[in-house]
Structure 1
Amino acid sequence: MKSREPMVMPSTSYKWFGLVLLMLIGLTNYMDRLSISILQVPIKADLGLTDTQLGAITGLSFSLVYTLAAIPIARMSDRRSPKLVIIICLIAWNALTMLCGLAESFLALAILRMGVAIGEAGCAPTSQALIAGYFPPHQRGRAIAMWQMVFPLGSLIGIFGSGVLSAALGWRQTFFVLGGVGLLVVPLVLAFLKEPPRAEPPQAAGAPIEPGDGTMKVLRALLTLRGYRLLLAAGFMAAIPLNAVLNWNAPFYGRSYSLPIQEVSYVVALTAGVGGILGMIGGGFVSDILGRRDQRWYCWFPAIAVGVAPAFAMAQFLLAPSLSLSLLAGVICAILLNCWMPPQAALGQLVVNPADRALSAACIVVTAGLGAAAGPFLTGILSDMIAGWTLDSDNALAIALTLVSLTALPASLLFVLSSVYLREDIARAQAHQMYAG
């Protein structure tokens, strides 16, 4: 099925250079975001926080604000300058990360993390929209998969580096270092990031879609696509266990295996980084290969991956008799829980007009962000509740993580259901009928 997009693709050399530059920007994003997962260990001791409060800082307060900010910032990127949006957001989230080092209470840290979330909300939708402008449809799955590797790479660098820096300097100074490193990227973006030519909006059923069409009109049009709605729901459910495991791995290994923070940083960087990178590569490249035979593999492959993940989560947190076996199960679990993101993002770009790419990506970010908010927060609440019943806080967290991982099962079912309508949705988008009326 050939695309009718009128976008003029940039040169082969620049599109790969642009992708690398966008990956560098995204890397600082996820380094700042995921550093909190390891720094919460000394933060809890210093500020005297509960698991519920930690879940609110790492998940709820950050992700809810992130999801609220994503759509308006993405729409600004679609209508104005994506480069300017990225520069402003890059400065904002790194400056506020530095200010997190000054927090003296739960409330102050939560508010500052909300500010970081607003800045970071502009990164993923704008970057994915630019990538969709750089690459033709048959290369987008792997291109977006390569960009999304910043998630596990940033996790690896952020978690490992934060653990080492925290052990040497303390958690407050670690925030200063992370934010300062991110600000060094700003001059590179100013000098080298290019925007692809904007495509002229297509016409649908004789009615033109002008660049000024309202956001709600486009959202309503997108949400008439049944497969797209199910795809968003699948991403929400899949994001719950992914972010629960990612944010609570460090406390789990610290409590269950009595590891000091520097060793915890090695362990969590291994599971989140290596497992995440392999999952992103597999999700993007395998879905592209299988999708050539049948586009429904963009849904079937993530359905299989997330459906199997809870078994390995149970092995990691409850059944493994040793640290090495727990880590092995954790790496496999991370691979499976990361596979769904590249094919979902690629599908989100196939069912939308070029002028609305960032908005479509933002919808995916919003629903996944809601899952990211729910996962760590729900885990913290369950951990505190189970600890109150059993008086065993170490095993309480392991049980809570295992229970939350089961949300991957309905995610798997939703991916399968989305595949039923996928080809119909793509055909409607390419015929520009989704905007009719």
Structure 2
Amino acid sequence: MTTSDQTDTAPSPSNDGYGSASYRAYVLFALIVVYTFNFIDRTLIGVLGEPIRETFGLSDTAIGLLSGLAFALLYTFLGIPFAMLAERKNRTSIIAIAMAVWSGMTALCGLAQNTWQFALARVGVGVGEAGCSPPSHSLISDYFPPEKRSSALGIFALGIPIGSMLAALGGAWIASQEGLNWRDAFIWMGLPGVLGAIIFKMTVKEPPRGYSDPGGAAAAAARVMPSPFAAFGILARKPSFWHVSLGGAIVSFAGYGIGQFVAPFWMRAHGLSLMDAALIYGGVLGVAAGIGTIGSGILADRIRKKHPNSDSWLPALGVSLAFPFAVFGYNTLSFADGALAIWLAVPALSIAGLLRYSYLGPMFSVTQNLVEPRMRATAAALLLFIVNLIGYGFGPPVIGWISDQGTKWQLSQLEAPVSLQECGTLERQIKAANDEVVDAISGGALDAAEATNDAYCAPARSTGVRLGVTMGALFFLWAALHFMLLGRTLQKDQWTPETSAATA
């Protein structure tokens, strides 16, 4: 059972953190599971985006809006009030309720019969997921002392690649089974999260705030409870926060934008099936991203004493080196074809994924260390507000728009008798026929639609998606600049008990 915020406020006898080592390990594991479900439900639309787009006859811009802005709008704006609530109320309860909500709304995505219903369900997923990260970061900061937080937060961030990997493999496997489709994948991948929320609430304790910081929980309790808006002013005056949040936002803009079109890239450009694309996207690339996520946090913690600014230059180096590998991997068809192009692309994109995720652990750790314990959930929410509004809100639709422009250009080069919109109609008609929908086209009409699609729409889509993901990779260099500039003020901006001036 959980404990209240008002109990067990004695200072920690050591600097090891709250609870036994084995219990801390369990709590971190439980939070990883929560975050994994968070990203399963968030990113299912990435691997299943192509059949969804074909079902509703959408453009890449439209599927980007469904993936990004529909989810991110309320997700980003509600994160801050949820975080303020987490500074004052039981954080484990907030996480459990949020998990149950987003899991249920994911299942409702599978029941959507049109674009607007799907969009409303995606908004609901975003509402639920707004209650996950800020209280989770705050919990970790009370369970683990400052010198172990980059590692702990980096391990927690494993939920991102693990969730993305399971969404890709599980979603594609379900959708590929006889008699099932993408709708079933949303239902069966979403519902288990409701059970997970119950287990989390029953087994994870609420730690005293500030327990693992210098002075322990007693010192944190003695400090005046800060105003809900105090964190805004404190972080706004710290250049380190702006550089780490903008760096993270720009990496996320590229990452989420590209991520929405990775499975379509393999399907359109390399002609892979949904399941084969998912195996590369979720399996090979997911493992590489996981190594980069956990490795960056552990490495930053281990070298921090000798290199205090490792949280700055380590992600700067990682995301800048990711750029050439990504560009190479997305364009192997320019100098190779068939299996060779695939075998050249996979290792390059795996290295790019490993390097790109080097920013996650340090980004979260830097933000937590900029403010005092009672502001950490709000600080995490402010960070995620910037990162996700820019990254998730605009990354997928912008990359989708670039893909659509590339598709239009290629259609003009082919002197195609159809427009981009007409290609969407043809794809929807072919999808309905393949799914044996009542009143779907058949016979000569189906043959003509398939011939036009194969001659014009499919090759144009291939060119467009390659352009979109390649242009997205350019943003890694911009992000690296912000992480590098972070090092100029990082040490000065970090919070210590001596510099704390929390106000009511």
1:52-91 deviation per Cα after TM superposition (whole angstroms, max 9, x unaligned) = 1110011122123221111111111111110110111011
What does 1:10-89 align with in structure 2 at a 5 Å threshold?
A: 10-89=19-98
1:82-137 deviation per Cα after TM superposition (whole angstroms, max 9, x unaligned) = 01101110110011111111112222111110110111111111111111111111
Q: Secondary structure at the match of 1:153?
A: helix
Candidates 371, 395, 410, aligned match of 2:463:
395
Q: Secondary structure at the match of 1:184?
A: helix
What does 1:29-428 align with in structure 2 at a 5 Å threshold?
A: 29-168=38-177, 169-199=180-210, 210-211=224-225, 213-319=226-332, 321=336, 322-370=341-389, 371-391=391-411, 392-426=460-494, 428=495
1:271–1:334 contact (8 Å) kept in structure 2:
no
1:254 Cα shift?
0.5
| Higher alpha-carbon deviation: 302-311 or 222-231 | 222-231
1:271 Cα shift?
4.3
| Higher alpha-carbon deviation: 299-308 or 35-44 | 35-44
Q: Distance in 2 between matches of 1:218 and 1:373?
A: 24
Q: Secondary structure at the match of 1:67?
A: helix
1:19–1:131 contact (8 Å) kept in structure 2:
yes
Q: Distance in 1 between matches of 2:223 and 2:147?
A: 25
1:96–1:112 contact (8 Å) kept in structure 2:
yes
Q: Distance in 1 between matches of 2:493 and 2:117?
A: 45
Kindly report the root-mean-square deviation, in angstroms, between the aligned alpha carbons of the 2 structures.
1.9
Alpha carbons of structure 1 residues 44 and 77: separation in structure 2 relative to 1, 3 Å: same
Structure 1: state its 5+ residue gaps: none
1:295 Cα shift?
2.0
1:429 Cα shift?
4.3
1:351–1:430 contact (8 Å) kept in structure 2:
no
* AA of the residue aligned to 1:382: I
Q: Distance in 1 between matches of 2:111 and 2:21?
A: 45
1:285-343 deviation per Cα after TM superposition (whole angstroms, max 9, x unaligned) = 11112212122111100000111111111111113531111111111111111110101
Alpha carbons of structure 1 residues 127 and 375: separation in structure 2 relative to 1, 3 Å: same
Q: Distance in 1 between matches of 2:191 and 2:120?
A: 20
What percentage of residue pairs aligned between the two structures are identical? 29
Q: Distance in 2 between matches of 1:68 and 1:271?
A: 34
1:209 Cα shift?
5.5
Q: Distance in 2 between matches of 1:429 and 1:374?
A: 36
2:134–2:381 contact (8 Å) kept in structure 1:
yes
Q: Distance in 2 between matches of 1:433 and 1:130?
A: 20
TM-score (ref. length: structure 2): 0.81
Q: Distance in 2 between matches of 1:119 and 1:75?
A: 16
Question: What is the aligned residue count?
Answer: 427
Q: Distance in 2 between matches of 1:245 and 1:106?
A: 22
Q: Distance in 2 between matches of 1:107 and 1:220?
A: 38
Q: Distance in 2 between matches of 1:436 and 1:359?
A: 15
1:202–1:432 contact (8 Å) kept in structure 2:
no
Structure 2: state its 5+ residue gaps: 1-9, 211-216, 412-459
Say whether residues 1:431 and 2:444 are aligned partners: no
Q: Distance in 2 between matches of 1:296 and 1:436?
A: 29
* AA of the residue aligned to 1:210: V
Q: Secondary structure at the match of 1:195?
A: coil
Q: Distance in 2 between matches of 1:311 and 1:152?
A: 21
Q: Distance in 2 between matches of 1:409 and 1:302?
A: 11
Partner of 2:442: none
1:172 Cα shift?
0.9
* AA of the residue aligned to 1:432: T
1:276–1:335 contact (8 Å) kept in structure 2:
yes
1:280–1:342 contact (8 Å) kept in structure 2:
yes
Alpha carbons of structure 1 residues 58 and 271: separation in structure 2 relative to 1, 3 Å: farther
Q: Distance in 2 between matches of 1:271 and 1:405?
A: 19
Q: Distance in 1 between matches of 2:281 and 2:481?
A: 29
Q: Distance in 1 between matches of 2:285 and 2:393?
A: 18
* AA of the residue aligned to 1:134: Y
1:215 Cα shift?
2.3
Q: Distance in 2 between matches of 1:314 and 1:28?
A: 30
Q: Secondary structure at the match of 1:328?
A: helix
1:430 Cα shift?
4.0
Alpha carbons of structure 1 residues 436 and 216: separation in structure 2 relative to 1, 3 Å: closer
1:306–1:408 contact (8 Å) kept in structure 2:
yes
1:434 Cα shift?
5.5
Structure showing the higher helix proportion among its residues: 1
Q: Distance in 2 between matches of 1:276 and 1:255?
A: 23
* AA of the residue aligned to 2:128: G
TM-score (ref. length: structure 1): 0.93
1:10 Cα shift?
2.3
* AA of the residue aligned to 2:302: I
2:141–2:368 contact (8 Å) kept in structure 1:
yes
| Higher alpha-carbon deviation: 366-375 or 45-54 | 366-375
Q: Which has the larger radius of gyration?
A: 2
Q: Distance in 2 between matches of 1:131 and 1:430?
A: 19
